[in-house]
């Protein structure tokens, strides 16, 4: 994990927990927060940010190499 990646956790006064995987792209955000989701219980709602839809550098490099 690079220094740009982090998981922010907010807990509301009502007890609702919000996770934000900052600096992750693609499905790596879900992989990074999976352990928290499993530990905390039922996920009420997931909202993917634009970073989720950005290609990971490694994925793009691998696809470029396969094209050669």
> Which residues lie across from 10 on neighbouring strands?
18
Helix (H, G, I), strand (E, B) or coil at 48: coil
pLDDT per residue of the chain (68 residues) written in tens, 0 to 9: 556 999 999 999 999 999 999 999 888 999 999 999 999 988 888 888 888 888 766 555 544 555 45
pTM over 0.75: no
Strand residues in 1-68 grouped as ranges (E): 6-11, 17-22
Backbone φ/ψ region at 26: left (φ over 0), alpha (ψ -120 to 50), beta: left
Predicted pLDDT of residue 59: 53
At residue 10, φ and ψ (nearest 5 deg) are: -120, 140
């Amino acid at each position: 994990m690079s220094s740009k990646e982090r998981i922010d956790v907010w807990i509301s006064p009502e007890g609702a927990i919000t996770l934000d995987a900052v600096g992750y792209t693609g499905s790596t955000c879900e992989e990074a927060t999976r352990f928290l989701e499993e530990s905390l219980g039922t996920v009420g709602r997931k909202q993917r940010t634009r970073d989720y839809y950005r290609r990971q550098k490694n994925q793009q490099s691998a696809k470029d190499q396969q094209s050669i």
